[in-house]
Amino acid sequence: MNINMTFKHMDATEALKTHVNEKTAKILKFLKGEVEANWVFYLAGDEHVADLRIQGPRIDYFGQARTENMYHSIDAAIVKIEKQLKKHKEILKDHIHRERKAADKVNGGGGKTKAADDSEE
């Protein structure tokens, strides 16, 4: 787990770094392998912008949030990444169940796999 932070046109405070590390750690515990989280913070007019890109083996997620407060922007970017992770998990879960249903149809719906049927003969 590697967390990188870049601050453009603003100062980095310890409180902000601590908040980012806590929030990012909650997301990264759900990901396996060597995962890197890259944060970019900057001011765009009156808005505080937080960009988060999470990259790892076969994953690449991006979330950006613009609010009047940097802490709210961080929280909103985290929520966007969480939504992407949940959607990805549902896709994987649905894919696994779809394969199991297809195997059950082929094997007559008995719940056994073809390998189990072959070993009984």
Report the predicted TM-score, pTM, of the whole model to 2 decimal places.
0.74
* Tens digit of each residue's pLDDT (9 = 90 or more) over 57-78: 888 999 999 999 999 999 999 9
DSSP β-ladder status, 36-44 and 47-56: antiparallel
For residue 109, pLDDT over 80 is answered with no
Parse the chain into domains and list their residue ranges: 2-116
CA distance 55 to 98: 28
Where does the chain have alpha helices with state H? Answer: 14-28, 70-106, 114-120
**What pLDDT, on a 0 to 100 scale, did the predictor assign at position 39?**
97
The predicted structure's pLDDT at residue 112 = 54
CATH fold for domain 2-116: Double Stranded RNA Binding Domain (3.30.160)
* Cβ 43 vs Cβ 74: under 8 Å: no
Please report which confidence band the pLDDT of residue 17 belongs to, taking 50, 70 and 90 as the band edges: very high
* Euclidean distance between CA atoms 114 and 121, whole angstroms: 11
Confidence label for 111 from pLDDT (cuts 50, 70 and 90): low
Q: Is 31 helix (H, G, I), strand (E, B) or coil?
A: coil
